[in-house]
């Protein structure tokens, strides 16, 4: 098997990889993999990118299919939607509610959402490319480059209207860290329907229970409140009423943020897009370079001297949203910050009052008022953010810390299973079981690092 080729001898590690592959097999739907069969029955953009990264190690062909099925749903304006809906009859309402046909760029043959998610596509494409021999890699890159480029062009054309080098997100769901403190704080401050405050709790709960499915699969109290869930759905409806046209939404936007995680991922993705272009003798158009050349400096403008941290920014007020979260560490993944800034972020990762808990790295530092060890993106440890940070740490030469974090992540998953998120104090698992990106990135971490379990 492939892990023998890579020289691993650890039995436990081998068993863990095999179990992880089984999870991905379970969630495989013929052309793509869903995040978790019960709670998330549709294909989701960044989830599938992580899946492709994991599969590239043992089944590059299927890893390619994962990416291709995302690109098949691309809108003609370049957007890659964050959800491609399951076509089974029972998901009729999920498909219907987005009414993507109101925007002429949406595809006819597939039902999709009308917003996007963190642009991990370039990373997935390159990870697959790197396991292929040069000719195969070039062929692969040629087959996807035009569509990947169109996606990056869409991102800057529609989402960087001031030409700053940072793109904006119109909904917390676009950030991938849906209920992270900066998102929820903005939702409460800017996009909170007044009538929600005058409804009584039982009525809110009734509406909430009706519109949401997550509470049927995970413990109540771990996810957004019912009122927040309603506000999130109403914000989606606002965007839908403006036909998913970013400029129309921005005319009177309630929620528009330059999310630090999203932008860090995009900056890295631009570097990888360039790598792909060079491999196949293509060039990056000047209109894209105009935006990307500003990105590193623009990212630095999200640094706050007072608190020594990076934050997301409210696009409308132009103010930093000073709510600490794991997003503040993600510039490490961008590769665009200075070594000095990277060292400051490392201090936070190693700070016991902040991010250095028993099972790092919590999605919110322990000393934040938002912190809860079990509430979704407000404290638990997630494998995908660990993976992004480990990757960034290695690029800045913090190899020991990257190794430590890899080992603790693998041990956490080995002890507690392939869950969606974990309590950073006890390692206890929460959210969906058999969660695809936890399995896929476990495979990648296990293959890429010669650490023992």
Active site (annotated) includes residue 420: yes
The closest alpha carbon to 182, from 296, 310, 303, belongs to 310
Q: Report how many residues bind ligand GLC under the rule CB under 6 A.
A: 7
CB of 23 to ligand GLC, least distance (A): 13
Least Å distance, CB 151 to ligand GLC, is 17
Residue 178 binds ligand GLC (CB under 6 A): yes
> Is residue 262 close enough to count as binding ligand GLC by CB under 6 A?
no
Tokens of 374: 């079990």
Q: Which stretch binds ligand GLC (CB under 6 A): 43-51, 84-92, 131-139, 338-346?
A: 43-51
* CA–CA separation, 422 and 432 (whole Å): 11
35 makes contact with ligand GLC (CB under 6 A): yes
Provide the minimum distance between the beta carbon of 396 and ligand GLC in the complex, in angstroms, as a whole number. Answer: 25
Q: CB nearest ligand GLC: which residue?
A: 35
Question: Which member of 176, 331, 362, 379 binds ligand GLC (CB under 6 A)?
Answer: 176
Residue 378 or 406 having the CB closest to ligand GLC = 378
| Residue in the block written with tokens 């290695």 | 394
Site for ligand GLC (CB under 6 A): which residue of 8, 17, 47, 360?
47
Backbone phi and psi for residue 437, each to the nearest 5 degrees, phi listed first: -70, -30
* β 429-430/421-422 pair status: antiparallel
Stretch touching ligand GLC by CB under 6 A, among 39-47, 101-109, 286-294, 299-307: 39-47
CB atoms within 10 A of CB 15: 12
> Is residue 40 involved in binding ligand GLC (CB under 6 A)?
yes
Q: For the CB of residue 176, give the shortest distance to ligand GLC in the complex, in Å.
A: 4
Which string of x and - marks every residue 136-175 that binds ligand GLC (by CB under 6 A)? Answer: ----------------------------------------
Please give the structure tokens belonging to residue 270. Answer: 């631009």
* Catalytic-residue membership of 178: yes
CA 429 to chain centre: 20
Check binding of 85 to ligand GLC (CB under 6 A).
no
Contact positions toward ligand GLC, by CB under 6 A?
Answer: 35, 40, 44, 46-47, 176, 178
Residues serving a catalytic function are 178, 420
């Amino acid at each position: 098997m492939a892990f023998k080729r890579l020289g691993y001898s650890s039995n436990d590690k081998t068993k863990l990889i095999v179990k992880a592959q089984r999870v991905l097999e379970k969630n495989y739907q013929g052309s793509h993999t869903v995040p978790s069969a019960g709670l998330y029955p549709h294909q989701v953009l960044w989830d599938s990118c992580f899946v492709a990264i994991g599969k590239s190690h043992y089944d590059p062909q299927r890893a390619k299919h994962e990416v291709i099925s995302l690109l098949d749903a691309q809108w003609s304006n370049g957007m890659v939607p964050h959800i491609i809906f399951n076509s089974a009859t029972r998901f009729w309402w999920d498909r219907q509610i987005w009414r993507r046909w109101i925007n002429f760029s949406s595809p006819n043959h597939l039902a999709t959402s009308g917003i996007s998610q963190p642009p991990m596509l370039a990373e997935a494409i390159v990870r697959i490319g790197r396991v292929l021999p040069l000719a195969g890699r070039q062929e692969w890159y040629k087959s996807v480059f035009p569509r990947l480029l169109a996606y990056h062009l869409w991102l800057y054309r529609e989402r960087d209207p001031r030409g700053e080098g940072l793109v904006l997100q119109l909904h917390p769901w676009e950030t991938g860290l849906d209920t992270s403190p900066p998102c929820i704080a903005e939702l409460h401050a800017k996009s909170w329907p007044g009538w929600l405050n005058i409804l009584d709790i039982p009525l809110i709960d009734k509406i909430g229970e009706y519109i949401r499915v997550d509470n049927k699969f995970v413990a109540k109290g771990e996810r957004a409140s019912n009122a927040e869930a309603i506000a999130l759905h109403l914000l989606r409806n606002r965007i839908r009423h403006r036909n998913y046209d970013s400029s129309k939404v921005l005319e009177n936007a309630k929620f528009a943020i330059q999310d630090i995680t999203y932008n860090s991922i995009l900056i890295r993705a631009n570097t990888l897009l360039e790598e792909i272009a060079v491999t196949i003798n293509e060039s990056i158009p000047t209109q894209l370079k105009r935006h990307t050349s500003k990105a590193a400096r623009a990212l630095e403008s999200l640094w706050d001297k007072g608190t020594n941290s990076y934050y997301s920014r409210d696009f409308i007020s132009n103010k930093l949203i000073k709510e600490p979260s794991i997003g503040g560490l993600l510039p490490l993944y961008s590769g665009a910050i200075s070594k000095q800034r990277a060292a400051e972020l490392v201090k936070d990762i190693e700070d016991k009052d902040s991010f250095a808990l028993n099972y790092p790295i919590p999605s919110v530092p322990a000393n934040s008022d938002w912190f809860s060890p079990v509430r979704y993106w407000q404290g638990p440890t997630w494998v995908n953010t660990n993976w992004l940070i480990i990757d960034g740490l290695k690029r800045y030469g913090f190899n020991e810390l990257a190794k430590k974090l890899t080992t603790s992540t693998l041990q956490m998953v080995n002890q507690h299973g392939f869950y969606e998120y974990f309590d950073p104090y006890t390692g206890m698992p929460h959210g969906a079981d058999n969660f695809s990106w936890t399995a896929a990135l476990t495979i990648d971490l296990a293959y890429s690092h010669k650490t023992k379990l």
